Chains A and B, each alone.
Chain A
């Protein structure tokens, strides 16, 4: 069990221990991990325990995160960066401590971490602030066919407004076609934006190599890490990107927490996004000067409780060790892929045939709509996603109206996979497929 922080007089949150990557991290102990997630002890209306296989949509929250949020609301719910009284200082220390913990998780510096609501807001921030300022008519943005809508729509809107061109790296056997990517880079795009891990296919993209190639072509690089940060060791400096975004609520944190990481000199040169309180240095009636980064991008009172909760989530993940988390989820994914094919006749599984793959398995049972699959699974307490997973262009590319998706988190086990398989066989029995 991970404990909550010791309290000094101000209740200052100690910086998380650095993201040390042991050569041989202790393997993750599922029983111990599951005991940290109170929701796993809750029974549904049929009296069944939760088999949660929708972590790609949002993660469950460990007790330390719930406690961090409750602790703020119960003991020191003051605004930050303003009051000189004790609980205000305590709130500011906890908020900035959370920023430090997130920075440690990403291998970054704290002042390059901007708190936002989610990955969607982070990408919008970059599109409206950086994109609107630096891009001009005719400029090219390179995206991919496997993007979540969050990494498509903001660029579509910006392209329509500024007359930009959009090009897309196509799929080749469930992966990005690197040859086409190289050809697109030859057209000298100003920005390349792509996902670290596909939220439908589970594909893990070679982000370091793609970033280096994009930089050689003179492009800025934004990476959507929503499906990577909770599941593997991510070092933004090693990857070398200019912007890296993720959603806190998919990474064991509360909803309302998300992160934009950006290289300091780029963030400093960008105009602000939202403006108003908190993000200023000095204001007169007609002009203002802005706060230094990251404060410049955090206008108004932020979701303080959510940020503090995300800090606790980052410390929880680091204590588990991200290499151990990845090893656990990789083994589980391999087990699930093998067992599903073997035990569920006719199942169609999407994604790359081999190689690096995250804990996301999208599938269909022929002749049965995924909504019906999800509905029957729900009765045995198994929660999966059914639909297009905010990736309609990708489904269209694969010729699918929808798919069902099982996705894993640190608390997922083989028993969850076995419950999924039993549920899918029940679906097939009911539909006599």
Chain B
């Protein structure tokens, strides 16, 4: 019956890709969604303007964690410019399920966290 909780979303939630920590991250940032308590600590290793490696430690709902899993797969190996150009619609496309307005914050926490991590890396 359920369009939102497709098997691949639940699979990413149960066994998220890139879960864990990096030993020498160039930058790390913890994103927090106070509405529901979703948390994502995003670590990026940046080399020659490219996301050489990425990892995250997170807790929260299936949508926020599956989104982080899918997004980290997506950005690995991409240039910082390519990642900075990602828009909310790109993340929603990655998820591939319909997200209600109430859950947008959950779905987009991962992108918001990556963006803020990149901002921090610039300074």
Contact = CB atoms under 8 A, between A and B. Distances in A.
Interface stretch (A155-163, A327-335, A367-375): A367-375
A401 B4 CA distance: 22
B61 A371 contact: yes
B2 A379 contact: yes
Contacts of A386: 36
Contact of A372 (B35, B39, B63, B100): B63
A387 B2 CA distance: 22
Given A371-B61, A371-B103, A402 B10 contact: no
B95 interface: no
A371 B61 CA distance: 6
A379 B103 contact: no
A369 B61 contact: yes
B60 interface: yes
A372 B37 contact: no
A386 B60 CA distance: 12
Contact of A387 (B5, B35, B59): B35
B10 A430 contact: yes
A401 B5 contact: no
Contact of B61 (A372, A395, A432): A372
Contacts of B100: 375
Interface string A420-433: 00000000001110
B63 A387 contact: no
Contact of B37 (A368, A387, A432): A387
A387 B1 contact: no
A376 interface: yes
Interface string A56-86: 0000000000000000000000000000000
Contact of B4 (A368, A375, A432): A375
B59 to A, nearest CB: 7
A368 B61 CA distance: 7
B55 interface: no
B118 interface: no
Interface residues of A, number: 19
Q: Max chain B CB contacts within 10 Å: which of A375, A395, A431, A432?
A: A375
Interface in A380-433: 386-388, 392, 395, 400-402, 430-432
Interface string B29-73: 000001111110000000000000000000111110000000000
A293 B100 CA distance: 47
A395 B37 CA distance: 10
Nearest to B62: A372
A151 to B, nearest CB: 19
B37 A388 contact: yes
B106 interface: yes
A369 B60 contact: yes
Nearest to B5: A430
A401 B35 contact: no
Given A375-B4, A376-B2, A430-B5, A370 B36 contact: yes
B36 A376 contact: no
Quick one: which of A369, A386, A402 has the most chain B CB within 10 A?
A369
Contacts of A371: 36, 60-61, 63, 103, 106
Contacts of A368: 62
Contact of A401 (B2, B39, B63): B39
A375 B63 CA distance: 11
Contacts of A432: 10
Contacts of A402: 36-37
28 contacts: A368-B62, A369-B38, A369-B60, A369-B62, A370-B36, A370-B61, A371-B36, A371-B60, A371-B103, A372-B5, A372-B62, A372-B63, A375-B4, A375-B100, A375-B103, A379-B2, A386-B36, A387-B36, A388-B37, A401-B37, A401-B38, A401-B59, A402-B36, A402-B37, A430-B10, A431-B5, A431-B62, A432-B10
The 9 closest A-B pairs by CB, nearest first: A401-B37, A369-B61, A371-B61, A402-B37, A371-B36, A372-B62, A372-B61, A430-B5, A387-B36
Given A368-B62, A369-B38, A371-B60, 5 more contacts: A369-B36, A371-B63, A371-B103, A379-B2, A387-B37
